[in-house]
Amino acid sequence: MAGGIVRIDPATGAQTQVAAGSFQDFAIGADGRLYATQADSVLRIDPADGSASVLGSGVNLLAARSIAVGGDGRVFVSTTTAAGGAVIVG
């Protein structure tokens, strides 16, 4: 199985790839979608079919690392640029 995000059935141990790619971190939103950091982008991924859309990208997200999704749907991303800091998307 290639890199990416994998769902593991705790009862059987069966593994299913949800999304292909190289991600730094991901979180699950209240809407059931996955939110992931990848290079200079934040992606929203539908776990049903693996389709992804870019939620945000660019200079403020260079070296995007950790991600969290608040109960209100706002996405929080930490970066590791020289300036450091955090970005709120949405």
- Residue 26: CB atoms within 10 A of its CB come to 19
Contact 78, 62 (CB under 8 A): no
Q: What is the mean pLDDT of residues 11-28?
A: 92
Residue 15 pLDDT > 90, yes or no?
yes
Q: How many residues does the chain have?
A: 90
d(CA 16, CA 54): 23
Could you read off the pLDDT of 31-70 as tens digits, one per residue? 999 999 988 889 999 999 989 999 988 877 778 888 999 9
Q: Alpha-carbon distance 47 to 4, whole Å?
A: 12
Q: What is the DSSP letter of 58?
A: S
User: Which residue is it, tokens 């069966």?
Assistant: 14
pTM of the predicted model as reported, rounded to 2 decimal places: 0.81
Please report which confidence band the pLDDT of residue 10 belongs to, taking 50, 70 and 90 as the band edges: very high
- What is the layout of strands, in order, in the sheet containing 34-38? 25-28, 34-38, 41-45, 52-57
pLDDT of residue 90 exceeding 80: no
